[in-house]
Chains A and B, each alone.
Chain A
Amino acid sequence: EIVLTQSPATLSLSPGERATLSCRASQSVSSYLAWYQQKPGQAPRLLIYDASKRATGISPRFSGSGSGTDFTLTVSSLEPEDIAVYYCQQRGIFGPGTQVEIK
């Protein structure tokens, strides 16, 4: 069974800074990886699928890259509304999440 590992566990940045979140798979998953954003008290929202494709209505500030075992979600310029936990997902497996905080 594939295991997804996310780092860092918590990321604390100032508004306007670039956020880089990592997701690593225990074996190759090709480009088959999705990213979700979950704000407090809300359901997760799909941001990225197939490693780099933005979901409908998602801001271009969010971008995904990677293939094989190493993947990255980048938020180009952090805004206060981006405070959330970010999860990666591959088929029925979710990563443990990265909490993004604003300094």
Chain B
Amino acid sequence: QMQLQESGPGLVKPSETLSLTCSISGDTLHSYYWSWIRQPPGKGLEWIGYIYYTGSTVYNPSLKSRITISLDTSKNQFFLHLTSLTAADSAVYYCAKRQVFLQDYHFDYWGQGIRVTVSS
């Protein structure tokens, strides 16, 4: 059974960069797409972006200028870097496996989430 686990800082200062890691167990990165999704406190879900195991990426246009998603196949991990943080970036950040189905996709495995607060 595949499992995903987010790790990183719980508190980051405004204007700094957030770096999160998603560690995958029970399967490998290969042949799959991997996503980051976030949820501000008391609000809904926002898709951030995804990366294919080859390294190709697609980002949410609203965040594109501040995001980098990368991966390390040797460690079975993928990463999120989000720059120029503001309080609006405070959220629970989830990593998830993006499952392609025909011309669509959904998210079939999720990490438990990591709460990130942006505050000085």
Interface residue ranges, A against B (CB under 8 Å):
29-30, 32-34, 36, 42-46, 49-50, 55-56, 87, 89-97
Contact = CB atoms under 8 A, between A and B. Distances in A.
Contact of B106 (A46, A95, A97): A46
Interface in B98-120: 99, 101-108, 110-113
Contact of A89 (B94, B107, B112, B113): B107
Interface string B66-80: 000000000000000
Nearest to A96: B44
B94 A43 contact: yes
B113 A43 contact: yes
Interface of B: 44-47, 60, 94, 99, 101-108, 110-113
Contacts of A29: 104
Give chain B's interface secondary structure class.
Answer: strand
Interface centre among B46, B94, B101, B111 (most CB of A within 10 A): B101
Nearest to A32: B104
B103 A32 contact: yes
A29 B94 CA distance: 25
Given A46-B106, A91-B104, 15 more contacts: A32-B103, A34-B104, A34-B106, A43-B94, A43-B110, A46-B108, A49-B99, A56-B108, A89-B106, A90-B104, A92-B60, A93-B47, A94-B45, A94-B46, A97-B44
A68 B87 CA distance: 37
B112 A43 contact: yes
B44 A91 contact: no
9 contacts: A29-B104, A30-B103, A36-B107, A43-B111, A43-B113, A44-B94, A46-B108, A89-B107, A95-B44
Nearest to B59: A92
B44 A49 contact: no
A29 B113 CA distance: 29
Contacts of B111: 43
